[in-house]
Amino acid sequence: MKIGDKIRTRIDEMIHVHGKLLLVLSKDSVESSWVEKEVETAIENETTRKETVLFPIRLDYTVMDIKTDWPADIKRARHIVDFKEWKDHDAYQENFARLLKDLKRES
């Protein structure tokens, strides 16, 4: 992004170009207002395009413990790929292959 770019506009443009948003859920991301805006934009795009745009993955248990706000909505409405064992080579490879397959399928 360039200095001064409007974040929401730029996110809209990138989702339009690429058609997908990989949502990385972690302790820090679920507390970020920037991430919340990106999620809102992706969900609006899904409604308009009638296809999956938002692909959530989690790096820790944080989102599973949240009971309110947008992370809880994501948890209730979406299957979230579990990358909390990302340091384990085999677990990572298995989950990455699954994510890649789903991303390609939605193309």
Q: What is the pLDDT along the chain (107 residues), one digit of tens a residue?
A: 788 888 878 878 888 888 899 999 999 999 999 899 889 989 998 999 899 999 999 999 999 999 989 999 999 999 999 999 989 999 999 999 999 999 888 65
Burial call 31-50: b when 16+ CB within 10 Å, e when fewer: eeeebeebbebbbebeeeee
Two structure tokens written together for 40: 């809102």
CA–CA distances in Å: residue 55 to residues 2, 15, 35, 98: 25, 12, 13, 12
pTM of the complete model beyond 0.75: yes
Using N-to-C axis directions, what is the helix angle for 7-18 and 33-49, rounded to 10°?
Answer: 40
In 11-107, the DSSP E strands lie at 21-25, 54-58, 81-82
